[in-house]
């Protein structure tokens, strides 16, 4: 008799209609939770900051690739670093050039397939971004190619990495969690500061 009392009553399985309604109720609760989170001022402020920082990083990439203004300067002093010797040209290839302009600005530049050394008082075209007036590119007076400033390479890589990772995080969770929002905000902020300060 005691064994009969300790036994549980057998559960009756839910019908497919009841299972459907339970799933719908869970989905509605989840949607309500998401809407409540989206209506908080924390979400609105942080999401706005993320959008502004993503726009700024896009500006950084565009200024590195195409959008910059050019200034004319003159070379006061130049130091070249050489790499391999090219037998066809009978000259070593210049891998890096450190310019000092007549106004005292120091500009290290990575070069590729350059064999003619720039001379003092040659014309130097300096490509700068519009907002911070940072040196991004350099063009020599006798060569149509542009050469990137030594710090432009890491700025470009950091900005691309931050944007790709930020958009991947957005794709995964649509900024519906605090962790995703804070991670993307921190990533974009650090990449933006790197572009500004370096």
Structural domains in the chain (count): 2
Is 6 a member of any domain? no
Query: Do residues 59 and 74 both lie within one domain?
Result: no
Quote the CA–CA distance of 59 and 53 in Å, as a whole number.
Answer: 10
Is 96 a member of any domain? yes
Query: Do residues 51 and 82 both lie within one domain?
Result: no
Please report the pLDDT score of residue 5 as a whole number: 60
Domain hosting 183: range is: 36-64+155-197
Mean pLDDT along residues 143-166: 95
Query: Do residues 131 and 173 both lie within one domain?
Result: no
Quote the CA–CA distance of 34 and 41 in Å, as a whole number.
Answer: 14
pLDDT, one tens digit per residue, over 70-120 is 999 999 999 999 988 888 888 999 999 999 999 999 999 999 889 999 999
Query: Do residues 121 and 101 both lie within one domain?
Result: yes
| pLDDT confidence band for 18 (50 / 70 / 90) | confident
Query: Do residues 136 and 165 both lie within one domain?
Result: no
Query: Do residues 146 and 80 both lie within one domain?
Result: yes
DSSP 165-180: HHHHHHHHHTT-SHHH
Query: Do residues 95 and 138 both lie within one domain?
Result: yes
Mean pLDDT along residues 153-179: 91
| pLDDT confidence band for 147 (50 / 70 / 90) | very high
Cβ-based neighbour number of residue 81 at 10 Å:
13
Is 117 a member of any domain? yes
Where do runs of H (alpha helix) occur along 66-120? none
Q: Are 127 and 137 in contact (CB under 8 A)?
A: yes
CA distance readout (Å), 87 to 53, 111, 115: 49, 19, 12
Name the percent of the chain lying above pLDDT 70.
97
Mean pLDDT along residues 161-177: 89
């Amino acid at each position: 008799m005691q064994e009969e009392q300790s036994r549980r009553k057998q559960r009756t399985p839910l019908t497919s209609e009841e299972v459907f309604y339970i799933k719908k109720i869970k989905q509605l609760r989840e949607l309500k939770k998401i809407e409540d989170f989206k209506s908080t001022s924390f979400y609105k402020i942080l999401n706005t900051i993320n959008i502004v920082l993503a726009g700024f990083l896009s500006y950084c990439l565009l200024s590195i690739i195409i959008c910059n203004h050019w200034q004319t300067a003159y070379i006061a002093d130049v130091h070249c670093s050489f790499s391999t010797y090219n037998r066809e040209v009978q000259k070593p290839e210049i891998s890096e050039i450190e310019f000092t302009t007549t106004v005292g600005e120091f500009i290290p530049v990575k070069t590729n397939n350059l064999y003619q050394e720039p001379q003092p008082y040659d014309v130097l075209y300096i490509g700068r971004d519009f907002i911070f007036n940072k040196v991004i590119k350099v063009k020599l007076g006798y060569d149509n190619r542009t050469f990137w400033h030594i710090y432009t390479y890491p700025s470009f890589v950091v900005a691309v990495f931050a944007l790709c990772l930020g958009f991947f995080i957005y794709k995964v969770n649509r900024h519906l969690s605090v962790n995703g929002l804070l991670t993307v905000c921190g990533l974009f902020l650090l990449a933006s500061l790197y572009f500004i300060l370096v």
